Amino acid sequence: MLAQVQTGKLTALAVAAPKRSALLPGVPTFEEAGVRGYTADAWYGLLAPAKTPPEVLATLRRVATEFAQAPATQEKLRSLGMEARNTCADAFGAQLAGEVRLYGDLAPTLDLKTE
């Protein structure tokens, strides 16, 4: 929808990310627009088994960082209305834990059940 917003065909009221998008800096977050506690930020990540050797994790972290920072990656993601952020190790673990809590708390409210 980024192209439609940029051409004026759509008006963006808010972004569902924790901070404003560099692609739409004039558009507030939901929090700034008065909707407290709502984010729906999409993300992709790399996970490894718990006992992965530190040197393998270091290689994964280095390659992921290089990929996220590559101009071609940045350009492709921007063309899709996305921004690359490189969140590794503890910060990514905290993000995952927060999402598990959020959706774990939400499931009973919506009467969702696993099969």
pLDDT digits (tens, 9 = 90+) for 71-108: 999 999 888 888 887 777 788 888 889 888 888 888 88
Instruction: Report d(CA 32, CA 39) in Å as an integer.
Output: 11
Backbone angles phi, psi at 15, to 5 degrees: -105, 145
pLDDT at 87: 79
Does residue 19 carry a pLDDT above 80? yes
**Domains in the chain, number:** 2
User: 35: Cβ–Cβ under 8 A, 6 or more apart, which residues?
Assistant: 14
Same domain, 53 and 102: yes
Same domain, 52 and 17: no
Does residue 58 carry a pLDDT above 90? yes
Same domain, 72 and 30: no
